[in-house]
Amino acid sequence: MTIQRIAITTGGGDAPGLNAVIRSAVLSSLNRGWECYGIRDGYNGLLNPENFPDGGLMPLTREAVRGITHLGGTILGTTNRGDPFAYPTEDEAGKLVELDRSDELIAAFKAHQLDGLICIGGDGSMAIAHKLALKGLKIVGVPKTIDNDLNGTVVTFGFDTAVSFATECIDRLHATAHSHRRIMVVEVMGRYAGWIALHTGVSGTADAILIPEIPYDIHKVVEKIEARRKRGRHFSIIVVAEGAVPVEGGRSIIGKEIGQAERLGGVGHKIANQLQQLTGQETRTVVLGHLLRGGSPTTFDRLLSLRFGAAAVRALDEGCDGCMVALDPPTVRYIPLEEATERMKNVPLDCDTMLTARDLGISFGD
């Protein structure tokens, strides 16, 4: 089938580089003579077009994507409450329930005579894309997440920007921690995978790094701090992933709403309180949170995003669908969505960066 018009959607949490992917995919499409449309707020532009006064589909012309490569966020808008297979909807009693609206979405897609879809998102968005592909939509996924936890690609775009910013923050915190002889606990994003904490912690020379893959014993962290004090180092930097789990106890979950993934938060404060009590040393917490998702993409992320956007269009053009573009240096290849979604990419405990951290004497609380 020859392609005439395609749509692009951005789903889940935003990440630096989304606009670069959009621009690259749009120009690559226009240069093939295709028309291009952006679906607003995930799939909401097609599911609830009445909520968008300018239309749920945004024509993506050259003008629409001019000068956006370096901008954070997404010009299309996004949502992490828009899974068409479990769409949060009020029932007759006004209670929120999850409704399967995937057939409606496919019908709207066809009514707009769209021939293909580029879905830019993380694990949740790729799982949705896979299910839509099984229902017959021609879809190519583009792996996005600052968490870097998507399987099948060496790295996702957004990760480098998040780590670069977090490392800069730790550099700044060193000076104040040193001057005040304090323990600084820095909480970074990373629900189930500790990539951001690990890369930031090693690059920023943290003393302990607590990641979801290794349940931590707070007493082991205290041992590390005490050992430093004995060597005359009166401050410590502890990097904690939001999904870090103690050996006894669970993740710090602050809520779970219908149609949404569980929300995490609070582990940094919890650890800081424990460390202050156990060491008697003044302790402060910094939660970097959404700051890691904002800002301009680094050069690495820009280039990766531009490469991913163009590769997604090439994939559609070559008749490949139900796949995701993936970085496999030196190339970008296409892998089945099934492979991308079959498991989460956690930090392998024997990977080189972990071994480096261990050799440097960084504690993982184990």
Q: How far is the CB of 98 from ligand F6P (least distance, A)?
A: 17
CA dist., res. 360 & res. 366, Å (int): 15
Question: Which one of residues 190, 201, 297, 322 is an interface residue with ligand F6P (CB under 6 A)?
Answer: 190
Give me the residue whose beta carbon is nearest to ligand F6P.
Answer: 13
Tell me the angle at which helices 102-111 and 123-134 cross, rounded to the nearest 10 degrees. 70
Q: Which amino acid is at 29?
A: S
Is 157 in a helix, a strand, or coil?
strand
Is residue 166 part of the contact set for ligand F6P (CB under 6 A)?
no
Is residue 78 part of the contact set for ligand F6P (CB under 6 A)?
no
Is residue 239 part of the contact set for ligand F6P (CB under 6 A)?
no
Q: Which stretch binds ligand F6P (CB under 6 A): 183-191, 275-283, 299-307, 343-351?
A: 183-191
Q: How far is the CB of 264 from ligand F6P (least distance, A)?
A: 5
Of 91-150, binders to ligand F6P (CB under 6 A) are 145-147
Of 356, 24, 48, residue with least CA distance to 203 = 356
User: Of these residues, 83, 115, 123, 147, which one is catalytic?
Assistant: 147
Q: How far is the CB of 196 from ligand F6P (least distance, A)?
A: 8
Please give the size of the binding site for ligand F6P, defined by CB under 6 A: 10
Question: Which one of residues 128, 129, 189, 286 is an interface residue with ligand F6P (CB under 6 A)?
Answer: 189
CA dist., res. 311 & res. 289, Å (int): 31
Strand pairing category for 5-10 and 87-90: unpaired
Angle formed at CA 23 by CA 299 and CA 32, multiple of 5 degrees: 125
User: Six-digit token pair at 123?
Assistant: 């694990």
Q: Reply yes or no on whether 160 is catalytic.
A: no
Nearer to ligand F6P, 13 or 152 (CB): 13
- Length of the chain, please? 366
In sign, the C-alpha dihedral spanning 111, 113, 119, 120 is negative
Catalytic residues: 147
Judged by the rule CB under 6 A, the positions of this chain that interact with ligand F6P are 13, 80, 145-147, 189-191, 242, 264
